[in-house]
Amino acid sequence: MAVLLRIFIGESDKFQGTNLYHYLVKYLRTNHYAGVTVLRGITGFGKASKIHTSDLLELSSDLPIVIEIVDTEEKIEALKKNFDDTGMIGSALITEEKVKIIQYGKNNA
């Protein structure tokens, strides 16, 4: 079994001067994580209940972002420890669930 970690942030969240989601993708690739996908939401709200939307009449510069990371339990635990040690994620919502990885074909790049 593997673990799926979901991180809910805002598009304008930063770490070390760069967008957090860009930083995370580079970090995860450099550290050989199995996979990551960044999804941009069209509307949503968080703990402050402020609605962020892509509606043209209320265009937000801080759309919701969901970062999905899949890897072994050990690698996900190491990543969460890194989050704690560096403060990289701040007060983002993080969820975690066990997943079964299904691979199709012989060459999965």
* Domains (range + CATH), the chain: 2-95 (3.30.70.120)
User: Which pairs from 72-75 meet CB under 8 Å and 24+ separation?
Assistant: 72/2, 72/3, 72/34, 73/1, 73/2, 73/3, 75/33, 75/34
pTM of the model: 0.81
Question: How does pLDDT run across 34-72, given as a tens digit for each residue?
Answer: 999 999 987 776 666 666 565 555 555 678 899 999 999
More confident residue, 98 or 62: 98
**Beta-sheet pairing, 43-44 with 93-99:** unpaired
